[in-house]
Structure 1
Amino acid sequence: MADIFDSDRIFFPDDPEMRVLGSTEKLAQWRHRNRGPAFLRIGRRIGYHGSDLNAYLNAQRIDPNGEAA
């Protein structure tokens, strides 16, 4: 599967690319519930490493044919 996010970049919840995962509110709920992709706390800001986002999306893959992912 092709990577959606640049693996060498830190993404912030308000970046337009993050809309693939949902709203900033949804990301905040996931962090609060210890769900969703791994994140970094940089001072008071939250960041997501591109490689973690790609790994999270790849783990969510469902093949309706039942073939190995």
Structure 2
Amino acid sequence: MMTKIYDDDRIYFPEDPELRVLGDREKLAQWRHRMTGPAFIRIGRRIGYHGTDLNAYLSAQRVDPNGEAA
């Protein structure tokens, strides 16, 4: 199992520095527009990312060049 980068019980917003791991605010906006990237939630006009969704997205991006299971 991979180490969790994000707190599962927290909502992250695009301006939070922790999201720089994924890219800048513009990159996140492009992903939302293209319906790619991590799952997100709408809170009124604001966008948020639940920590569990961010951790799941990062885990799904795992590439093992040796073909070994996690």
For the superposition of Structure 1 and Structure 2, which TM-score range results when normalised by the shorter chain?
A: over 0.9
Q: What is the aligned-residue identity percentage?
A: 78
Which segments of 5 or more consecutive residues in structure 2 lack a partner in the other structure? none
Matched residues in 2 for 1:41 and 1:68: separation?
A: 35
CA RMSD of aligned residues (A): 0.6
Which amino acid counterpart does residue 36 of structure 2 have in structure 1? R
Superposed CA offset, 1:31-68 (max 9, x none): 00000000000000000000000000000000010112
Q: Provide TM-score, normalisation by structure 2.
A: 0.96
Equivalent residue pairs, number: 69
Per the alignment, residue 9 of structure 1 pairs with 10
Matched residues in 2 for 1:61 and 1:14: separation?
A: 25
Matched residues in 2 for 1:40 and 1:50: separation?
A: 11
